[in-house]
Chain A
Amino acid sequence: MASSDNDKSTLRKNAATAGVVAAAASIGQMAHAQGSGKIKVGLLGCGGRGNGALEQCLQADPGIEVIAMADLFEGKVRRTRDNFMKKEQYQGRIKIDDDHLYWGYDCYEKLARCEADLLLMATAPAFRGRQMMAAIKAGKHIFTEKPVATDVAGCKEVMAASKLAKEKGLAIVCGTQRRHEFSRMELMKRIHDGAIGELVGGQCYWYGGGIWFRGASDGMSELDWQCENWYHFTWLSGDQICEQHIHNIDVLNWCFNGPPARFMAVGGRQWRDANQDQVRIAKEVCRKFTGGEDNWQKYSGDIWDHIYAEFEYPNGARCLSFSGHSPGTGRNGEKIVGTKGTSDCNHNITGQNAWTYQGENVDGMLREHIDLIQSIRSGNVLNEGQRIAESTLTAIGARIAAFTGQEVTWDWLMNESKQSLVPSQADLMAGKPLYHAVATGCDPLV
């Protein structure tokens, strides 16, 4: 890659490449054969998913070069850079000098100012709205992990960023990989064409055994620790229904071509504070920050461990969303029910128009990057921003219904809710920790 290339020339070259490639069967192969058309990538968020996404991006297209990394923690950015530098298979493609390592609560702003064409976003979802907005304003394409917000305000910010991206011709692809699996794409085409008749019901599940709970390292502030242990705070993760179950919720929304009209939900936190490993770590953290263990529950997080929600879609179909963490029976998947048949939303249709997908099975987590890069090269960019904001808001709507015990409508979420959980950038920079009480099940509706 010519290091003198600036953003514009690289992209122009990419666009030209795409013109050739568009006629060919496989963009990936063409790009590889051609060996040029570099796309410069910056990674935001160097945790497990960030590392994974970067691997997948690098595998998706040989023209990817990594030029910058950012994370809240300096150690994590350096470790991630050094790890990738060592990987044989990416030799010559990781070109990150020390000036392109960013950390701190404003690292995303610095990253947006670097010369990358494409940013991969994999920090805790709380900050995604402002990260995306800054990136779009700076002219970057985006791959973002799901979910893209933890509150109503965040979803709206992503919707605005998505609109701006459209105006600027920038791509947004999101890590809801099911949308890029060939089998599901073929299947959804059939469902939308009426293969199972009118949709009258459905279910989606993500019930698992639990998740890590992280302690505080030396030198961490309370806010740093919260961000390190982000899954356990609603304002940071959106709770499990948002952070994890969104995958399945997104599939139901896909079936219905849009979000539900109405939400009802019950749920609670019955197990997490009985999980002895978690309690032990929470007590250690409490001792570290307060000198005693009396307030350990404050340090045990505020997310729930089960939510049972009903989504009513605009056509009146009522669907189940079943999510949580605890010992017990694990479940993950979806089912859609129509007047003429049903589907597992994956490979099969049963009923009058029974069908099984026989084609190629692809790795959706790789394919989403291929599709993104292909769309950038073609100049006909994908923009999944509005859609993933809607699916994120679907999960948040169900969470709000559960936390408050009230029925919530989509219109209310979009037009009346004032919910904003994430601290201002100034408060983050000042290092103020933020704790909410565990929701009661009849919290006020905001």
Chain B
Amino acid sequence: MPAPERAYFFATCLIDLLYPKAGLAGMQLIRRAGVEVIFPEDQTCCGQPAFNSGYRDEALAVARAQLACFRRDIPVVVPSGSCAGMIKAHWPELFAGQPDEAQALAVAARTYELTEFLVDVLDIQLADLGEPVKIAVHTSCSARREMGVADCIQTLLAQLDKVEVLTQDREAECCGFGGTFAVKQADIAGAMVKDKTDALRATGAERVISQDCGCLMNIGGAFEHQGDGPATQHVAEFLLERTS
């Protein structure tokens, strides 16, 4: 598809409250590429937390409230693999048989994960202005498997000359966040994030980059708790920082 004139930005609740700079960086990257970014003020959450916990009616009410925000036939860009995956893969199921099913399917069809949008739609070209840095990437499971966009973050990072991307052991293994999983099965999640942070630390990377703030909250929070580890950053912030 040709680059659109306008695109919606769906921040996701986690970014809105905890990582707004990551969201803002995503919006600025898109705006810099010549696309007008619309941030509908009434947006809240995609409904995923309740959906993953089995509370489908509660999830549906929240997902439904988003439909009015994204009415126009323009892309909806989501700076998170898991929230984009919720809309694309699970809204069709959630809205099945509902009066607004068609509307939900239309939004799902126009939804892109941020790195996917930057690469596949905008074909963005980046010039690295930063100092040499070694990083490791944690691709979220939903970006990798549900959205199938794991290559996009790599494509973007490969454009940055002075960024060396290190690979960790068991790269495709889940970090143990899993939304409410981290609360309901806290000790399993703790064991998983321990393994993930050990693998990331062992690369010697100065920073860990991801498309998903859920994983970053988990991994970054664990590094902080352990008192030792690389800084964590959302890919949008990293890209903006390197190129401006």
Same assembly:
no
A residues with a Cβ closer than 8 A to B are none
